[in-house]
Amino acid sequence: MTTAVGTLYPEHSAIRDGRLSIGGCDAAELAQRYGTPLYAVAEDDLRARAREFTAAMPGEVVFASKAFPCTAVLRVFHEEGLSVDVASGGELALAQRAGFDGPRIILHGNAKSEAELRAATRAGARIVVDNFDELDKLERIEAPCEVMIRVTPGVVADTHAAILTGHAGSKFGFSLADAPRAIERLRASGWADLRGLHMHIGSQLFDLAPWRAAVEAIAGLGDFEAYDLGGGLAVAYTPDRRPPSVAEYVESMVATADEVLGPGRALSIEPGRALTATAGVTLYTVESVKDVPLKDGDIRFVAVDGGMSDNLRPMLYDAPYEADLIDRVGKAGTPCTVVGKHCESGDVLIRETTLPDPKPGEVLVTPVTGAYVYAMANNYNGVPRPPVVFCSGGRAREVVRRETFEDLYGRDV
């Protein structure tokens, strides 16, 4: 019997008698062919999400590439007509390799180097100016370019402090008090084409109300051709909390902008997580199962062959995840704590989930790992980073190879 997978898994996934497939590719066969840990991505989900955003949004949809800075992912969104934002020279190089050029590239960041700014102007990218020191650098370069001014609206959103970006204490952007002076300098320059204002209030946001407060805050800075409203739409990492739909999100953003700023503005939004998160899953092999007796109840540790080197989000943000065994997806089980292989007590992927009698050698899957997981992968304990495999129509293709031990010392001199 084949059934659709629950809401946490990619849309282009299925279960046959409890066995998971991604993009028509059997998860067990993927693990056997490519090894674990493994990032498996339903390519058609990426395209479907891009089309969902472009259908809803009357203006520009910009992929926040930091969510999944992989050439193959960037190439998909280039083919789907999205623009891209980059936050470093490396992300700029990846975007160019994927085919982006000109003002379809938007350079962000609070500490851009002069070299990065020069590379961006050579590429014809749009630059989001963050501070006066950066403005000094651009004046030295004096290369013609499109610019926007990032403004901190002083709005606090309901999200983790580490991904809150629009409050008064944020490291990003000009304050409302300083922004007029930056606007004046750019308008007086002979090289800057000042298109408008940029804002961003945070990531993984469920409540749309703070966006209205942010738009109202920047509206007093003047009348501009274009406004970038940022991103931050949440995704569901667990079944208990559902975010607004793409249509609800876009409709609310555009309606607020039309009402507060006036109709006819060129509007941009910058989804990242909302484009990629649910398209990806991570496959692990169970290495050990250990029951630890405690006064208030036993803990069953299920240790896998990855952890904080391939998914740092639980350690940084207390990010919640769920897990299944790939041949018994959705089956009832007992409480388990999924931990990684690294020499850190904090290397805990999932504090509590339920698994049906896991055994060493079985393959475990964690859904909703398509955003900020590959991006934050590292080599802690000398663990090579996993490969990325695209799955579509029953065919799998490796788009990023697994690192080798040789890669770990390949830069030695």
Count other Cβ atoms within 10 Å, centred on residue 199: 24
Strand intervals (E) in 17-170: 19-22, 25-26, 38-42, 60-64, 83-86, 105-107, 126-129, 145-150
The residues with which 288 forms a beta bridge, in sequence order, are 303
d(CA 340, CA 210): 37
Judge contact between 221 and 180, C-beta under 8 A. yes
The reply to whether 25 belongs to the active site is no
Q: Of 25, 336, 343, 391, which one is the catalytic site residue?
A: 343
Judge contact between 27 and 40, C-beta under 8 A. yes
Task: Give 365's contacts (C-beta < 8 A, 6+ positions apart).
Answer: 20, 27, 281, 282, 283, 284, 323, 324, 325, 326, 329
Task: Give 45's contacts (C-beta < 8 A, 6+ positions apart).
Answer: 10, 11, 12, 23, 278, 279
CA dihedral 328, 244, 170, 277 (to 10 degrees): 30
Helix (H) or strand (E) holding 288: strand 280-292
**For the chain, counts of helices (H) and of strands (E):** 12, 21
d(CA 247, CA 335): 36
Integer CA distances (angstroms), 395 to 25, 32, 35, 241, 391, in order: 6, 15, 17, 33, 6
Which of 242, 243, 237, 273 is closest to 353 using CA atoms?
A: 237
* Beta-sheet pairing, 38-42 with 388-392: parallel
Q: How far is CA 185 from its chain centroid?
A: 33
Q: Which residues are catalytic?
A: 343
